[in-house]
Every structure is written in structure tokens, then in C-alpha cells.
Structure 1
């Protein structure tokens, strides 16, 4: 009998859309999302995706947080992925409205009625949850909605984007758009597979304050990180 980790991945769904190819695979006990041949994430761990949400909430609740206490803060999650961040946010009663922007229709389908549905069924049924089928880059530039926290997890990091058009999100103009959808004192949290001192500098130059990077150990490999920054109050 072969060990699950040595079994060849099995493709469960493969689609081609406006942003290229996206694939859902099963590899042993875990599900994987592959975009344009680039591994994005799987269901093997999730601690850094959960920490992304917790770190944003802790920054909002810090005693010296700009704007003071925020009952039921609204969070915008960029990227649905395998659903770790959404499920974790929905499991925390301290969050208010939870909005997720996901540009891949296939990913939304996999959660609503597909192999990923067991991970997020409760979160999707939560009345606080809203799923928007939209491109996050366009959304932060066009929406009139504002949030207390913006948690970004649509790439492998600021320097390792899934598609070239995502690169603008981490530029000064993209960060200005992120700041625009944040309320005064709001928190920007950005997931990355590796630290980026250059991105920290870009955040500061874009006017964000309290910029810092938090490392999160993972089961295998180098730690993931969460970049944190606060819009001035």
C-alpha cells in the first residue's frame, strides 16, 4: 500500500477563465489549489491564514489603537482560497460583517457545493458573511464600502504574485486604494510566504503607521509571515 504523501495528485476540477487556469487537486488527505501552474495553498495546515485574521483583530483591539474600541468591526478578506481565514473569522463572535472578495468563480463553487464545502459550510451560512465574485484590485479601487480591517491573501506575497496585474496592489497606488477602503485607524494585514523589508518600506512610504512583520512557524519549510500596518486615525 502506498503512503498518502507519495500518491500522485488527483485533479478534481480544472477550469480556464479570464485570469488563466485554476485547478483543484487531491493529494493524499489534502486538497490543493493550483493557479496557472503555481501552487497557492492546501488544506494541510492553515495556522498562518488563521493568524492573518487574529493579528488584524488584535491590532484593532490594542489599548492604543487609533479610534478606540470598535464593537463588531467589519473585515474584508481578499481571497477565499481553501477557506481557512473565512472559517476562522466566522468562528469568532467579535467580528461584525465579514466580506470575502474572490475573483475565481471556480473557487466559490468548490466551497458552495464542492470538495471544499465541509471547511466553510458553517461560515457561509453565517448571516455576517458576504461573498463577492470580483477582482480585489478592481474592488478596492471602485467600492464605496469601508472596513475596519483588510486581510489580503491573494498571492504568495508582495514579490510573488499569481498574475502580473496583482502586482499593482502592493505598489504605492495599490496601497493607497487599500487605505481608501479602511476606516481611520483601520488595519491592513498581508499574508506572505516570506518576509519583505522592501514591502515594509513601501507601506511606510504610503502613509501607513505601526508597520511590522510577524513570523508564523509552519509544519515544513521557512515561516510564513503577516505584514501589519495601520491607517492613520
Structure 2
């Protein structure tokens, strides 16, 4: 068997170490000894984008925010499901991950970083969410390991009630918050509903129709107008 070789490494904000590994044509991004993503397993990341884009069908100029670049699978699937007038902003916390997409992983990215619909923001997706008021038709979070993070403790703030409230405020009426997770989290499902989203939890497989580990994608739909939701009902 071909051994793994380390192509590069990068420090996380919490002092961890990401490693980009290669074995033949296969790539892996690891946090220490834990594999975060693998180039052979892209089904659930693609499903994250496909489900979000399906929910936006009919919007002429949708604007999306993707949290987490990874190996580009979510971005590529989003671009495939969107029209020429769409805009996609990708927030990536670790600059080296963007460099990998333009370097050793360029074949996986297939030119999507140069797509005129795409803008890259190196930094915290939470800051973009908090700064945006009705700025996005969809927010896709493929950040860390889902609501239970591994790489950066600060990511937890995306998934608490305050973070979910900020995401709802950053969405346009009827917009979609799509969240990827490595596994189920009933408490997070309840938090999404408490934050005012209509919630659907979709089970998916790491390698799509070919199987693999079972992952979860939450689709949270914001109310159709700013007058809707829990706050309005309390008046």
C-alpha cells in the first residue's frame, strides 16, 4: 500500500495542527491523528449545497455565505446548482486551506475559486454573519465537526441560541440556514426551532449513494417575513 505523505501543515487558532496528507491520488486533511475530511468522501458535503440550492429555487439573484472551504466539495456543488447571477461568499478561518485549494488540491477544486460568482473571505464566518442584516438568501455551515466542534472552540458560538439568532437576522425572509454535522444532535434541532426556524434534519451518507458514515444536515428555514416568528407572536 502507498504510504501517506505530509504535504503541509497549518496551526489552528486554538493551537492545534492541521495536516494536509496525500496517498497516491487521495488527499486527507487531519487534525492531529483525527481525519476531518477525505477526497474520496464528498457525498454529504455536496448534499449540503444541493439541499440549500433546492430550497432557493426561483430566486433570481441568490446570495450565499458558505462557512468553511474544506476541499471545495460544498462550493463546487453550490455553483453547479446556481445560475449565473448568483453570488457565493466563502469564509475560511485558516489561510493555508485557501492556499491548498489553489495549490496541491487544485484538481479537486476544478477552477471554482476563479469562478466570477465566488468571493473568498479569510476570517471568521461568525463575524460575517453578525455584520450582515438580511444580507444572504442562504448560509451554509460546514464548520468544524458540526455543533460539536473539534478544531476551534470559538466555533461553538455559531450554534448556540445567540449565534442562531444572528444567522436568522443575516438571512433574508424565507432564507435558509443549512448546517452539516458528523452525527445527530437532538438538542441542536431544538435550538434551531427555538431560534425561530422551521427545521428539517436530513440523514445523508459520507459517500452519497455509495454509502459511508451517516451524517446529518439541518435545513432551517427563516420566517417568510420579518414580522413572523416568536418575537412577533409575543407582541
Per the TM superposition, whether the score is higher than 0.5 is yes
Partner of 1:190: 179
Question: Residue 70 of structure 2: SS of its match in structure 1?
Answer: coil
Partner of 2:46: 50
Partner of 1:23: 19
Partner of 1:11: 6
* Native 8 Å contact 1:161 1:167 kept in 2: no
Deviation per residue, 1:109-156 (Å, 9 max, x gap): 1112x1111122421121101011011122212345711011100121
Superposition map of 1:1-233 within 5 A: 2=1, 7-20=2-15, 21-61=17-57, 69-94=58-83, 96-112=86-102, 114-143=103-132, 146-209=135-198, 211-219=199-207, 221-233=212-224
* Native 8 Å contact 1:11 1:24 kept in 2: yes
Q: Which runs of 5 or more residues in structure 2 are unaligned?
A: 225-235
Change (3 A) 1:202 1:161: farther
Q: Which runs of 5 or more residues in structure 1 are unaligned?
A: 62-68
Question: Residue 91 of structure 1: SS of its match in structure 2?
Answer: helix
- How far the C-alpha of 1:161 sits from its partner, in A, is 3.7
Paired with 1:119 and 1:130, the residues of 2 have a C-alpha distance of: 18
Paired with 1:185 and 1:17, the residues of 2 have a C-alpha distance of: 34
- How far the C-alpha of 1:37 sits from its partner, in A, is 4.5
Count of residues in Structure 1 that have an aligned counterpart in Structure 2: 219
* Native 8 Å contact 1:91 1:123 kept in 2: no
Deviating runs (4+, > 6 A) in structure 1? Answer: none
- How far the C-alpha of 1:200 sits from its partner, in A, is 0.7
